[in-house]
Structure 1
């Protein structure tokens, strides 16, 4: 005799299927269409200060999780979702945004500027026990100020020998930097703005931060290139010597097997060097292309003198 069904048993219901206009949606559609909103621009107004640090993390997300957890506890805010590549936190006197990339992470602190000292208001999140997720590869201090005759005098803070002074946003803003580092090791960028909406000001600041960050990352291959130059010259000299020896008479020529062995050894050295440094040079090329794109988006107009 069949046992009666248990009316109290829990029936597992299938997960609701997403739809588009009443039709089933592709499984990854939500992630694809949501990507455009995954990295919104800052919304800022002058006077505002931004401090951004880029740390080499080599993709170790546990380092970022530890740093963000410490900051969350210190400022008394909820921990962000560590599974997302971009997250942030906001407190009374500022906000902080963390963006994770393949080999580095950026931490951006944004706060109002004190009218008397010109320094960011509130507690600096990178002080008082902050544990960096890795060594710093880029550090930027950006100030957004209203464009007035008084703030134009801030240009005197920069080295005139390397000053870069440009107009952007159809003349509604000016950007100044000398690409030199201050006493804290930070590259200083000044933005003077008038009639810029918070969205346009935030987008401009984001482009400038990316240009400096990716410019630095693109140049990481420069020391490697210099170190490889002497090694390549040694290999070229040895190859020339072997080639010259192969062109001599049979009496003076060494055993062909020995020459072939030396050629094979040189080829193996070259191949190993290429394989060991392929990622670094590929990354530099990609970073350089990003810099070029951001510079084109600025549509700069150089200020003479």
Structure 2
């Protein structure tokens, strides 16, 4: 081997190493994860329809749905261990992703220049949902014209959200309401974004709406536990008062009451741990 420093740059590196040092066995997966969800390149006008399903039945149900969709297209089904998969569907494409407690099916297709959609989504007759729907989004991307601006009037003015992004090159419009199909509508008016920036913006908007809904799953539980916590506090205050002012009850009875309150509190904390943890993660 030559000692010439100029040759160092061309020395072969050992497989699974970094600058000659052994690499951690989990490094390839960690590095590859950042590329697992590449932004799509989206040409306008375009429509994106995403449904997010809670996968109470496990990943096997998801795989069965994907296998049926693949069979209808005459293509191979994804591997059972796959966490994401894409396929052509009609004039657009379908992308599936599996998460911890839910999965998403995102169809992207064309809008005509007149603004009418040529939807051929997989969500029609013959589609078997893998679980209950937690989020449904219809996102339209249109050129920013006087005609497309008039579409804003269809949104509820009492909850209208209108935001300029990308240095004023795009506007995002939604009212967080659901249409007749139960879909949350989002309109993007574009006056010059590249396909890459359009794809990145669309994916970000869909993620925000999906995770916003998932994060709110903890609210009903929080309201229920709030009432229970108040009742426990009242009972604890009463028990403490009895311990101070008079010996109207024997110590064993008071200890039993305190133990019961502690058990109730611990049970509520344990039952809410996952849901509240998930809400924090989705936030």
Pair 1:39 & 2:37 matched: yes
- CA shift for structure 1 position 25: 5.3
Pair 1:278 & 2:267 matched: no
Matched positions, count: 270
- CA shift for structure 1 position 225: 1.4
- CA shift for structure 1 position 99: 0.8
Pair 1:222 & 2:219 matched: yes
Pair 1:195 & 2:192 matched: yes
3-state SS, counterpart of residue 281 of structure 1 = helix
Match of 1:182 in 2: 179
The two structures have a TM-score, normalised by structure 2, of 0.89
Contact 2:90 2:121 in 1 (8 A): no
Q: 2:64 aligns with which of 63, 66, 86?
A: 66
3-state SS, counterpart of residue 34 of structure 2 = helix
- CA shift for structure 1 position 84: 2.3
Contact 1:48 1:110 in 2 (8 A): yes
Match of 2:151 in 1: 154
Contact 1:18 1:24 in 2 (8 A): yes
> Which runs of structure 2 are paired with 1:1-305 in the superposition (5 Å)?
26-58=24-56, 60-116=58-114, 118-121=116-119, 123-250=120-247, 253-288=248-283
> For each residue in 1:24-57, what CA deviation from the matched residue of structure 2 results, as whole angstroms up to 9, or x when unmatched?
6554343233222211111111110000011001
Moved more, 168-177 or 110-119: 110-119
- CA shift for structure 1 position 176: 0.2
- CA shift for structure 1 position 117: 6.2
Q: What is the root-mean-square deviation in Å for CA atoms of aligned residues?
A: 2.0
Call closer, same or farther: CA 1:238–1:24 in 2, change over 3 Å: closer
3-state SS, counterpart of residue 89 of structure 1 = strand
CA distance in 1, matches of 2:107, 2:53: 14
CA distance in 2, matches of 1:20, 1:137: 43
Gapped regions of structure 2 (runs ≥ 5): 1-13
CA distance in 1, matches of 2:219, 2:181: 24
Call closer, same or farther: CA 1:59–1:194 in 2, change over 3 Å: farther
The two structures have a TM-score, normalised by structure 1, of 0.83
Call closer, same or farther: CA 1:229–1:92 in 2, change over 3 Å: closer
